[in-house]
Amino acid sequence: MKEAMLYEKLPGSRVRCLLCAHRCTIADGHRGLCQVRDNRHGTLNTLVYGRTISQAVDPIEKKPLYHFYPGSLSFSIATPGCNFRCDWCQNWEISQMPREQHLIGGHPATPEQIVASAQRASCRSIAYTYTEPTIFFEYAHDTARLAHAAGLANVFVTNGYMTAETLEATQPWLDAANVDLKAFRDETYRRYIGARLQPVLDSLKKMKALGIWLEVTTLIVPGVNDDSAELKEIADFLFQELGADTPWHISRFFPHYKMRQMPLTPVKTLHRAEEIGRAAGLRHIYLGNVAEETNTFCHGCGNLLIRRVGFNVVENTLLPEGRCPDCKEVVAGVSMAEGA
């Protein structure tokens, strides 16, 4: 165990966790909703510090981040646990492990070892992913600071349910994030996820204000969040609050976890969502979990700039500073031409 960050002590040996928007009040001898933060005699401890349930070297496009060092590798880590309980979770075996199996599995790895592993694998960044990085914040915090000192970038793949205090604490070292905006209905968040919508929207706006590079993913689940009106509301929010250059990843749902009886998302639904996004003014929309190329085009002249096959960048014609070679328009992102 390690003492947690971002909590306050309350009377009667209780504590209030300030890490995510649940803001759990935890009695002595009990755990927070995520099941990996434990109150011992009025001190809140993290139970997953230095305990990885998964380590892998991934293309950054797998996160998915398409406008952040495209074509680079990211060293990806996770610990068990999550502050959500999404009925369609594709990583439920590890995200729900502490809640359903009453087990915190994994293998020890210090922040120093993680950074060294990333360097050996020639990674450009470290991604805190697979489960929810907010619940292993202390581990991510210490690893990310070392990563920055070593010249590596840091990426969160997150549900966006962290507090403003948590986001402010990340400002010195969090470079990019892909945030799951799972729906645009509070009732959907309450019924299928065990959370609320507004804190996610607040986090997205806060990340934008802090200068964190943002990309957003929406998994389209048939009968849950595939209504055209709701998709338009998501697209309008992204355009109005985050900007036209914010990449929107629209992903296909495959039956999983508690939704194994549900049908796959029809590909035509993804194309409908793409049309809605473009009509709203979004410049960069990518389809996920489909057998189609996910290319980046110049929004100025339509020129093909980055061609991808699967998660692999096979061509990048961008000039330095991310400029289109034809019209010299700048494509928003971070080091877009680094791998060209």
Taking residue 308's Cβ as centre, other Cβ atoms within 10 Å add up to: 21
Q: Answer yes or no: do 216 and 314 share one domain.
A: no
Q: Do 288 and 340 fall within a single domain?
A: no
pLDDT band at 338 (very low <50, low <70, confident <90, very high): confident
Q: Give Cα separations from 97 to 24, 106, 159 (angstroms).
A: 19, 11, 18
In the DSSP assignment, the letter for residue 6 is S
The domain total for the chain is 3
Q: Write the DSSP symbol of residue 320.
A: G
Rounded Cα distance between 164 and 98, Å, is: 26
pLDDT bracket for residue 339 (50, 70, 90): low
Q: Which sign does the torsion angle of CA 187, 219, 275, 303 carry?
A: positive
23 three-state secondary structure:
coil
Regarding whether 209 and 68 lie in a shared domain, the answer is: yes
State how far the alpha carbon of 98 is from the alpha carbons of 79, 82, 202, 322, in Å.
10, 9, 28, 43
Segment 176-185 mean pLDDT: 98
Q: How far apart are CA 139 and CA 147, in angstroms?
A: 12
Same domain, 214 and 327: no
User: Both 122 and 17 in a single domain?
Assistant: no
- Whole-prediction pTM value? 0.97
Token duo for residue 158? 């997150």
The Cα–Cα gap between 125 and 97 comes to: 27
Cβ neighbours for 161, distance < 8 A, ≥ 6 positions apart? 20, 21, 22, 83, 84, 132, 134, 195, 199, 200, 203
Average pLDDT, the chain: 97
76 with 219, same domain? yes
- What would the mean pLDDT of 237-259 be, rounded to a whole number? 97
Residues 62 and 137 occupy one common structural domain: yes
Residue 63 pLDDT: 97
Helices of type H across the chain: 92-95, 111-120, 137-149, 164-170, 186-188, 198-210, 228-237, 267-280
140 and 228 belong to one structural domain: yes
Going by C-alpha positions, the residue among 300, 284, 281, 272 that lies closest to residue 240 is 281
136 phi, psi to nearest 5 deg: -115, 45
pLDDT above 90: residue 250: yes
36 plus 169 within the same structural domain? no
| Strand-pair partners of 75 | 57, 126
Residues 132 and 183 in one domain: yes
1 band by pLDDT with thresholds 50, 70 and 90: confident
Q: Where are the alpha helices (DSSP H) in 173-227?
A: 186-188, 198-210
- Same domain assignment for residues 204 and 339: no
**CATH number reported for the structural domain that contains residue 125 in this entry:** 3.20.20.70
Residues 79 and 37 in one domain: no
**Domain-ending residue, one of 253, 268, 292:** 292
Sign of CA dihedral 166, 170, 171, 174: negative
- pLDDT(238) > 60: yes
- Which structural domain range is residue 37 located in? 2-46
